Amino acid sequence: MMNAEKRQNFFNVLRRSNPNPKTELQYSTNFELLIAVILSAQATDISVNKATHKLYQVANTPKEVLKLGEQKLKQYIKTIGLFNTKAKNIIKTCQLLTAHYDGKIPKTRAELEALPGVGRKTANVVLNTAFQQPTMAVDTHIFRISNRTGLAPGKNVLEVEKALLARVPKEHLLNAHHWLILHGRYTCTAKNPKCSICVVKDFCDFKSKDINT
């Protein structure tokens, strides 16, 4: 397991290589972010951005999405996996946002997770990205990196989330979510991780055949 000194150096290097990490989902409001994150479950950010680019031109508020309706909404998101279920959840979420929050996005985990289609990971993304809370949304990339590197091993996503919150240096906690996702997406990939070009390889427990190529 990565010790405290290595963890500090690990995130120091990630910060130097990317001082202002951001989600690759495209959005301009908190509502747009929420919808994009709901759509991103079992889908790529690229596919979500293609869909929301067109959707947000015609409907980018809860009231506008409700006016659009479920069937028309499906036409905009039909290229995304599980679009039927996601369309139903988005409509129900928009109804709740309109009825109880004046169309605004709530700022607590409990309120977010009460919205249809919003689980713990989605809530963590919104809390971190929209409201600058030091949460940790553990996706497949973060789960893999946490276990592979020895950063914060865990048997399930909740174990890894708790371990990361306890082990990531406090000054890096706000941005750690984005750094780890991007690192897993482009460098510490599931197959054939690019260890030879990895900026944090000196602090990692994992060694790949690629590291000497």
Q: Are residues 72 and 14 in the same domain?
A: no
Backbone φ/ψ region at 156: left (φ over 0), alpha (ψ -120 to 50), beta: beta
DSSP H helical ranges for 109-172: 109-113, 120-129, 140-149, 157-167
Note if 121 is an active site residue: yes
Q: Across residues 153-162, what is the average pLDDT? A: 97
Give pLDDT tens digits for 41-66.
999 999 999 999 999 999 999 999 99
Whether residue 62 sits in one domain with residue 17:
no
CATH of the domain at 197: 1.10.1670.10
Are residues 50 and 108 both part of a single domain? yes
Q: What is the DSSP letter of 205?
A: S
Predicted model pTM: 0.92
- The length of the chain in residues reads 213
Task: Report d(CA 204, CA 201) in Å as an integer.
Answer: 5
Active-site entry in 63, 121, 194, 202? 121
Say how many domains are in the chain.
2
90 is in which domain, residue-wise?
30-129
Last residue of one domain, picked from the residues 105, 129, 153: 129
Per-residue model confidence (pLDDT) at position 213: 37
Is residue 88 domain-shared with residue 158, that is, in the same domain? no
Q: 139, 191, 194, 201: which is the annotated catalytic residue?
A: 139
Our answer to whether residue 67 is catalytic in this structure is no
